[in-house]
Chain A
């Protein structure tokens, strides 16, 4: 495996930058990796001897652990750095942190940062592979990919499928990665939210806008329900959580009224009773825990491909012991 052989280029910053072929290739590569997590001994030597730093400037549980499992199951050596208690908290700049890590001869960095563009910034300045684990309101590509893998597993090819993203699109990196990835693979994408939580010109990204959740549900095959950050209410974007649930909540009444067998995703963590009701989240349409399972496989695939692995050798690679 050599770095130059990577199908994805050096870094994974966003799905906007990837071709449909590259996205499909990541999804296909994830399939054989799913099985590793089902084994008694969940480890293959694909990234043996590689050093990976998980650099998390924002709090994260699910994404950080998912990356860490993916790395460990591929036998990489990993280090976690959180912003609190590290040199970052002492005022070190992002570029200095990166250069110091680089000086310790690492192979990959997984970065989560509160500022849009931070992952690209890092990737342009260090030779290691950089994987964006969420940058500000920009992109969260592995989340987009795992959502697509989950939808594909339940509904087959994404081509022509109708997917509606519900909620705070304005502040959501998950929404942008979903929009790019899904539209590139031929899905029809819509968004549904109060206008205060939709970015200016969202239609120009090729998505339909629904103002009412009932219309969105009537249209969609798949709902991807975003977390409503509680601080949005303090920011005045919505008048109250109660009203949000009343007008935009994915409730069982609304889901039951849907003429089709709706598939429901949520990137987590959920605010039960706000953007999604518990009986929907725990109900038969929900694939929320599948998303979490698929997240590990997607991240294994991305790590493998960025390290220079060939997509069609994934099946072989995982058998090497």
Chain B
């Protein structure tokens, strides 16, 4: 079953003509310099020397990349319950400024998003923000208690695009099996945060020499690997759509690769921080690098890069996890897990993935737009004529330095402060409406 998402709540403004950009549309095999005309919220034309309709805004985007809108399938917007860290509105604006036209909001809020009414709330607040689209994700289990399934069908009807208990793993194999089987009716992905809590208990960083030196309890790779292994077996058993979040281990990548070769329905994420950092970033006690799953060893980082390169990891997702500065301003063990990622992902991926030759630009756009849309059945991921006008214009040459005080997110918890990066979103267009214009240095409010 696929719900009709053709009714677009975003309202388009005047027609926009993007003139002379490098249009990269991997879903349609296009990569050439041409114009894109957007009208009434849709892509009306793609081609050379398009005429300018009356009243159209013409944007000269020569030298820039015109991409289908970027989609982040893994963000924490903290509303309801954690509004001091982020709200749906501030998160949607941070997303837009980072080049994202859509995000999937994780349900581990307070209270959790585990019924149709709360799904409706997230959807409505997202629409009010008029920035990036906000797709609600519902819980797998009632109250994220890991005991019984939520009303998945009703949540899907209310607008949920996937289910997960993210932040917590699904604790028992039996419940995970039920979730994968039951969700087949609605053809939605079941996303799991793979962690065996009995192996990671008390841990605050990767288990290795750094944790030994710092006297911090380590989280072994095996705590992630045993759950990935379990979930892959259950996906094979049930035929459900498994989505593995934020893969951080070499063994995890290998197992997913083998599962895909065997034809198991599984998609998986790589996070920008696992692609660029190791557990050395935690030393000495840098709470901004405290994240779960933890930053791992260099061999793991290389394996995650290799998984991204060969497509084992289909999707780049940030796991944007805002925390108030007071919460990170504590001893390492006492600080919460998580880092913000929406506003650094494009620069990090262009600088550390494309420039280093891991992926080509069209491949990067596949991992950040095409595959996320496909895996989660979302609008976008294409600039085909007639498709919804969710478009990101990227300036690949723009040089900047990460300065968290300039984030639109409410939170500043990034380990990338001071990193020199190349590339940023110049223009973010959602449903034909400009929601971020870097030259204007503001988001449309």
Binding site for B on A (CB under 8 A): 16, 93-95, 113, 115-118, 120-121, 135-139, 173, 176, 199-202, 204-205
Contacts and interface: CB of A to CB of B under 8 A. Distances in A.
7 contacts: A93-B330, A115-B332, A116-B216, A117-B285, A118-B331, A138-B214, A200-B211
Nearest to B283: A117
Interface residues of B, number: 21
A205 to B, nearest CB: 7
B213 interface: yes
Given A16-B213, A116-B332, A121-B285, 14 more contacts: A95-B329, A115-B332, A116-B216, A116-B331, A116-B333, A117-B214, A117-B332, A120-B284, A135-B215, A136-B216, A200-B207, A200-B208, A200-B218, A200-B220
B385 interface: no
Interface string B96-117: 0000000000000000000000
B284 A205 contact: no
Contacts of B329: 93, 95
B212 A115 contact: no
A236 B215 CA distance: 19
A95 B331 CA distance: 10
B331 A204 contact: no
B212 A116 contact: no
B90 to A, nearest CB: 24
B331 A200 contact: no
Contacts of A201: 208-209, 212
B399 interface: no
B209 A117 contact: no
Interface string B307-339: 000000000000000000010011111100000
Contacts of B209: 200-201, 204-205
B425 to A, nearest CB: 35
Contact of A116 (B207, B215, B220, B330): B215
Contacts of A137: 215-217
A199 B206 CA distance: 12
Nearest to A202: B212
A199 B216 CA distance: 10
A136 B212 contact: no
A250 to B, nearest CB: 24
Nearest to B204: A116
A207 to B, nearest CB: 11
A121 B331 contact: yes
A121 B217 CA distance: 18
Given A95-B329, A118-B331, A139 B215 contact: yes
6 closest Cβ pairs, A-B complex: A138-B215, A117-B285, A115-B331, A137-B215, A116-B215, A199-B212
Contacts of A113: 331
A176 B330 CA distance: 22
B201 to A, nearest CB: 9
B326 A93 contact: yes
Given A136-B333, A200-B207, A117 B284 contact: yes
A201 B216 CA distance: 13
B46 to A, nearest CB: 54
A205 B213 CA distance: 8
A136 B208 CA distance: 17
Nearest to B286: A117
Nearest to B212: A199
Q: Find the residue from B207, B215, B217, B285 having the highest chain A CB count within 10 A.
A: B215
Contacts of B215: 116-117, 135-139, 173, 176
Nearest to A175: B215
